[in-house]
Amino acid sequence: MTLHARKDDLQAAARRHLWMHFTRMSAYADQDVPVMVRGDGCYVWDVKGRRYLDGLSGLFVTQVGHGRSELAEAAAKQAGELAYFPLWSYAHPRAVELAERIAELAPGDLNRVFFTTGGSEAVESAWKLARQYFKVIGQPSRYKVLSREIAYHGTTLGALSITGLPAIKTPFEPLVPGGVRVPNTNFYRAPEHGDDPEAFGRWAADEIERAILREGPETVAAVYLEPVQNSGGCFPPPPGYFPRVREICDRYGVLLVSDEVICAFGRLGYYFGAERYGYLPDMITCAKGLTSGYAPLGALIASDRLIEPFLRDTNTFLHGITFAGHPVSAAVALANLDIFEREGLLDHVRGREAAFRVTLEKLLDLPIVGDVRGDGYFYGIELVKDKATKETFTDAESERLLRGFLSNALFEAGLICRADDRGDPVVQLAPPLIADQQQFDEIEQILRDVLTRAWQRL
Ligand SMILES: Cc1ncc(COP(=O)(O)O)c(C=O)c1O
> What tens digit of pLDDT does each residue of 130-174 get?
999 999 999 999 999 999 999 999 999 999 999 999 999 999 999
Ligand 1 proximity of 226 Cβ (cutoff 6 Å): yes
153 Cα to the center of ligand 1, angstroms: 5
pLDDT band at 458 (very low <50, low <70, confident <90, very high): confident
Residue 282 near residue 255, CB atoms below 8 Å: yes
| pLDDT over threshold 80, residue 439 | yes
Which burial class, exposed, middle or buried, applies to 181 when counting CB atoms under 10 A from its CB (0-12, 13-18, 19+)? middle
Nearest atom (ligand 1) to Cα of 151 = 1
Specify the 3-state DSSP secondary structure of 421: coil
Residue 164 near residue 181, CB atoms below 8 Å: yes
The alpha carbons of the chain give a radius of gyration, in whole angstroms, of 22
Instruction: Report the distance separating Cα 278 and Cα 270, nearest Å.
Output: 11
pLDDT at 400: 86
pLDDT at 2: 54
Ligand 1 proximity of 422 Cβ (cutoff 6 Å): no
pLDDT at 422: 79
Beta bridge pairs of residue 144: 220
Nearest atom (ligand 1) to Cα of 231 = 16
265 Cα to the center of ligand 1, angstroms: 14
pLDDT at 449: 98
What is the arithmetic mean of pLDDT over 40-47?
98
Task: Tally Cβ neighbours within 10 Å of residue 103.
Answer: 15
Residue nearest to atom 7 of ligand 1 (CA): 119
121 Cα to the center of ligand 1, angstroms: 9
Instruction: Report the distance separating Cα 156 and Cα 24, nearest Å.
Output: 20
Beta bridge pairs of residue 404: none
Residue nearest to atom 3 of ligand 1 (CA): 153
Which amino acid is it at 454? Answer: A
pLDDT at 420: 83
152 Cα to the center of ligand 1, angstroms: 7
Beta bridge pairs of residue 52: 44
Which amino acid is it at 154? Answer: G
255 Cα to the center of ligand 1, angstroms: 20
- Give the tens place of pLDDT for each residue, 57-96: 999 999 999 999 999 999 999 999 999 999 999 999 999 9
Distance of alpha carbon 310 from the chain centroid: 29
Residue 114 parent element (H or E): strand 110-116
Ligand 1 pocket mutation, candidates 157, 160, 262, criterion most atoms within 8 A of CB = 262
pLDDT band at 213 (very low <50, low <70, confident <90, very high): very high
Phi, psi of 74 (to 5 degrees): -60, -40
pLDDT at 331: 99
Output the 3-class SS for 174-209.
CCCCCEEEECCCCHHHCCCCCCCHHHHHHHHHHHHH
Instruction: Report the distance separating Cα 74 and Cα 323, nearest Å.
Output: 18
281 Cα to the center of ligand 1, angstroms: 18
Residue nearest to atom 8 of ligand 1 (CA): 119
Nearest atom (ligand 1) to Cα of 288 = 10
pLDDT at 4: 60
Residue nearest to atom 13 of ligand 1 (CA): 154
pLDDT at 3: 55
For the chain, the residue count is 458
Percent of the chain with pLDDT over 90: 93
| pLDDT over threshold 60, residue 26 | yes
pLDDT at 421: 77
Task: Tally Cβ neighbours within 10 Å of residue 65.
Answer: 22
- Give the tens place of pLDDT for each residue, 337-357: 999 999 999 999 999 999 999
pLDDT band at 404 (very low <50, low <70, confident <90, very high): confident
Mean pLDDT of the chain: 96
120 Cα to the center of ligand 1, angstroms: 5
Ligand 1 proximity of 384 Cβ (cutoff 6 Å): no
Which candidate, 305, 254, 261, 253, places its Cα nearest to that of 284? 261
Residue nearest to atom 10 of ligand 1 (CA): 119
| pLDDT over threshold 90, residue 401 | no
Ligand 1 pocket mutation, candidates 152, 157, 283, criterion most atoms within 8 A of CB = 152
* Residue 207 Cα distances to 144, 159, 214, 251, angstroms: 16, 22, 10, 14
268 Cα to the center of ligand 1, angstroms: 16
Percent of the chain with pLDDT over 70: 99
Instruction: Report the distance separating Cα 320 and Cα 60, nearest Å.
Output: 26
110 Cα to the center of ligand 1, angstroms: 20
Ligand 1 proximity of 120 Cβ (cutoff 6 Å): yes
Report field, pTM of the whole predicted structure over 0.85: yes
> Beta strand 179-182 with 255-259: parallel, antiparallel or unpaired?
unpaired
Q: Do you find a cis peptide bond into 174, omega within 30 degrees of 0?
A: yes
pLDDT at 395: 87
449 Cα to the center of ligand 1, angstroms: 31
259 Cα to the center of ligand 1, angstroms: 9
Which amino acid is it at 352? Answer: R
- Give the tens place of pLDDT for each residue, 229-251: 999 999 999 999 999 999 999 99
Ligand 1 proximity of 207 Cβ (cutoff 6 Å): no
Ligand 1 proximity of 261 Cβ (cutoff 6 Å): yes
pLDDT band at 403 (very low <50, low <70, confident <90, very high): confident
Strands ordered across the beta sheet of 110-116: 110-116, 298-303, 283-286, 255-259, 220-225, 144-148, 179-182
Residue 286 near residue 261, CB atoms below 8 Å: yes
Ligand 1 proximity of 153 Cβ (cutoff 6 Å): yes
367 Cα to the center of ligand 1, angstroms: 32
Residue 455 near residue 366, CB atoms below 8 Å: yes
Crossing angle for the helix pair 327-343 and 93-105, nearest 10 degrees?
Answer: 40
DSSP string computed for 209-265: HHHHHHH-GGGEEEEEE-SSB-TTT-BPPPTTHHHHHHHHHHHHT-EEEEE-TTTTT
Residue nearest to atom 9 of ligand 1 (CA): 119
Nearest atom (ligand 1) to Cα of 156 = 11
